[in-house]
Chains A and B, each alone.
Chain A
Amino acid sequence: MSAIAETAPAGRSAFRRFIGGYGQEMVVLLAIVVLFVAVGAVNPRFLSDTNINSIFAGNAYIAIAAIGMSMVIVSGHIDVSVGSLIGVIATLAGTLAVSGAPIWVAWAVPILFAIAVNAGVGALVAYMRIPSIVVTLGMLSILKGGLISATGGKWITDMPEGFMIAQMRLFGIPSSVYFMVALTALAALFMRYTDFGRAIYAVGGNLEAARAAGLSPERTVVGVFAFHGFFAGIAGIFFATQLQIIQSTVPPNLELTVITASVIGGVSILGGTGTVVGSTLASILFACINSALIFLDISAYWLRAVLGLLILGTVLADMARRRRAA
């Protein structure tokens, strides 16, 4: 997204400015449309209600986590521990739910826990000046090791029905889709129109300039990580309630999928630009690719190689664009 960081040259129509500002988002959207048309032509069952529902609902928790991740990356940092955090949140929520705690407690406590953990990470990054990659690498293994030690990998089953928010539907559409759309829209408006949202771009774009303009980069970074914890918490609840069991392990490579969604959605890895609309579209694109591989009868074991190529291609394109602009 360059709508905020750059101003389009005068003389272009409003429509072209809009498209130009959302270049990467448009590319991702186009890719989704092309996939739907192409795979649907080969195998019409790809376009069935059930499959479309599962494409949009299946990766909703990734899209929600990617909202927070996008904020973190825009602010110039990264978090490789989000997958472990989501695993811990899911187990915590499930344990509370089966222990007989009120449903709202089983939802709220893990989210508050996630906010607290990530605010701590943010404080280490902002005030102690430890690179976020190091803090979150350490946090990844603390959360993962702690989870395995605490649960011994025991599965959680028989959760109360009222707790299973991901399986609730309204007008036939899974609740996670509503949450994904609403949270994306809210976060997009928040990042664009509030002082704090603009501060995230300023800190990620040019730290010293942001400081000179009177912003506190430290407070902004702690705030960004706290928000990231909030979204990771919600993502963890949806992840926990998707299936009838919680495996009490860390979903493998989830952090990578979330980071990839942000980057392919147009969040520049160097900080300063990007929108959460892009990361949500990219999450949907992943679900499309995953589903398309199945419907085209290609082994799902190739999925990660495809994602790796996508992220590499996007990053190289981003670098080339920057070089041209410079």
Chain B
Amino acid sequence: VSRAAWLRHETGLAGLVVVALIVLAFLSDRFFTADNLLNQGRLMSEVGLVALAMTFVIVTGGIDLSVGSILGMTAILLGVFWYNVGLPLPVAIVAALACGTLAGLGNGLIITRFGVPPLIATLATLALYRGLAEGISQARSVRGYPEWFFILGQGEVAGVPVQLWLLGLATALAAFILARTPFGRATYAIGANETAARFSGIRVDATKLWIYTAAGFLSALAAVVFVSRVTTTRSDMGTGLELDVITGVVLGGTSIFGGRGTVLGTALGLVLIQALKNGLALAGVKGDGTIGVIGIVLIAAILIGAIFDKDRGG
């Protein structure tokens, strides 16, 4: 597929985002206000951080279903380290981030050392990490964090939510790595043809290990942002996060079979989903009802992609 064709996917998606924003602005006069849009950006940050890593994962032809569980486990550990163990909060944050990163490394080791398909490996760790979160917390929540901690999830810098700065920085970094570095080229090569990549001297296992570890780290970072935003830790945090993340990435044009996809596409996909969620909520669709629409969007996006692929004779 030529570069121009994929630029077209993102152009089309950008057009769709603009149309959605205009329609939603007409549907509700509360939608297109700076307050609402910045607040939506805040809500999008956790999914966004994880989706950056998931883009790399899916470009290699893999998948990571355990990200929501890693988020939940990290959140619980943060609470436990701080409240039960009594560590100073900054130390507890670093320790929890390290545990989430280790969880991602665990995924990577199971996948690369034992050759377990990523779908199954992360399905198992989805259960394991969530189970650890439930077992460790015994369904007790931790609250009462110090005031300064809430800056990350609720504060603003220059009028823009803090976590949106964080997401923007991470997005730029991820986009640069995927598009402009040898690591990014290795990621594409693995997804396009793993055997060929191996034979051409690319360090396939090391690359994958880094990517799954990064997915663990970003899920853990999202957990810290999440806890700071909602001021409490619960073991069911991040349940179903994997669905939102995968939908955003796939909607952004990343092929579920691997080999193609861009960070820009993922960002646009995420914006479209968040706009739809917010717009529907403002239009009166209740809470979890909006996830039905996301399911339809996911299947439709892949279906349309599949039809276009056939037309290209792929």
Q: Which of A78, A129, A308, A320 is B125 in contact with, Cβ under 8 Å? A: A308
Task: Give chain A interface residues in 278-306, CB to chain B under 8 Å.
Answer: 299, 301-306
> Is there a chain B Cβ closer than 8 Å to A86's Cβ?
no
Q: Does A245 contact B (CB under 8 A)?
A: no
Residue pair A145, B289 in contact (C-beta under 8 Å): yes
Total inter-chain residue pairs, C-beta < 8 Å: 147
Give CA–CA (A93, B73) in the complex, Å.
36
Query: A218 to chain B: closest CB distance in Å?
Result: 14
B interface, size bucket: 35 or more
Q: Given A138-B298, A140-B295, A141-B292: A260 and B127 within 8 A (CB)? A: yes
Closest B residue to A141 by beta carbon equals B295
| B291 in complex: contacting residue of A128, A141, A302, A315, CB < 8 Å | A141
Contacts of A269 in B (CB 8 A): 116-117, 120
C-alpha gap A270/B256 in the complex (Å): 18
Q: Given A137-B243, A306-B131, do A149 and B123 touch, yes or no (CB 8 Å)?
A: no
> B241 on the interface (CB 8 Å rule)?
no
Asked if A149 contacts B289 (CB within 8 A), the reply is yes
Q: Is the interface of A mostly helix, strand, loop or mixed?
A: helix
- Annotate B268-305 by CB proximity to A: 1 below 8 A, 0 otherwise: 00000000000000000111111111111011001100
- Contact check, B256 vs A131: say whether CB atoms are below 8 A apart: yes
B256–chain A nearest beta-carbon distance, Å = 6
In the bound assembly, the distance between CA atoms of A149 and B295 in angstroms comes to: 14
From 86 to 136 in chain A, residues with beta carbon under 8 angstroms from any chain B beta carbon are 124, 128-131, 133-135
**Contacting pair B293 A130 (CB below 8 A):** no
User: Given A78-B119, A145-B288, A315-B121, are A305 and B135 also a contact pair (CB < 8 Å)?
Assistant: yes
Asked whether B292 lies within 8 Å of A307 as measured between CB atoms, the reply is no
Tell whether B22 is near chain A: CB-to-CB under 8 Å: no
In this complex, what residue of A is CB-closest to B299?
Answer: A138
In the bound complex, residues from chain A placing their C-beta under 8 Å from that of B130 are 253, 304, 308
Name which of A133, A270, A302, A305 has the most chain B CB atoms within 10 A of its CB: A305
* Chain A residues closer than 8 Å to B240, beta-carbon distance: 141
Q: Which of A148, A260, A270 contacts B117 (CB 8 A)?
A: A270
Chain B hits for A131, CB < 8 A: 256-257
Interface presence of A256 (CB below 8 A): yes
Verify B127–A311 contact, CB threshold 8 A. Answer: yes
Give the shortest distance, in Å, between A28 (CB) and chain B (any CB).
17
With both beta carbons as reference points, the residue of chain B lying nearest to A302 in the complex is identified as B135
8 Å CB contact of A315 from B124, B285, B292: B124
The answer to whether B299 touches A124 (Cβ under 8 A) is yes
Q: Which single member of A145, A263, A312 contacts B128 (CB below 8 Å)?
A: A312
A128–B123 touching, CB < 8 Å: no
B residues 22-65 near A (Cβ < 8 Å) are 63
Q: Which A residues lie within 8 Å of B137 (CB)?
A: 301
B91 within 8 A of A: no
B63-A133 in contact (CB<8A)? yes
Chain B residues near A10 (CB, 8 Å)?
Answer: none
Chain A residues with CB under 8 Å of B126's CB are 256, 308
* A141 and B242 alpha carbons, distance in the complex (Å): 12
Instruction: List residues of chain B with CB within 8 A of the CB of A142.
Output: 292, 295-296, 299
Q: Does A309 contact B (CB under 8 A)?
A: yes
Q: Which residues of B contact A130 (CB under 8 A)?
A: 256, 299, 302-303, 306
Sort A-B residue pairs by CB-CB distance and give the 4 closest, nearest first: A145-B292, A305-B131, A308-B128, A304-B131
Q: 29 interchain pairs (CB within 8 A)?
A: A128-B307, A129-B306, A130-B303, A133-B119, A134-B299, A135-B299, A135-B302, A139-B299, A142-B299, A144-B291, A144-B295, A145-B289, A145-B290, A145-B291, A148-B288, A269-B116, A304-B134, A307-B127, A308-B125, A308-B130, A308-B132, A309-B128, A311-B123, A311-B124, A311-B127, A312-B121, A312-B124, A312-B125, A316-B116
Sample of 16 more A-B contacts, CB < 8 Å, known A124-B303, A253-B127: A128-B303, A128-B306, A134-B299, A138-B302, A141-B298, A142-B295, A142-B299, A149-B285, A252-B239, A301-B139, A305-B128, A305-B134, A305-B135, A308-B129, A311-B128, A319-B115
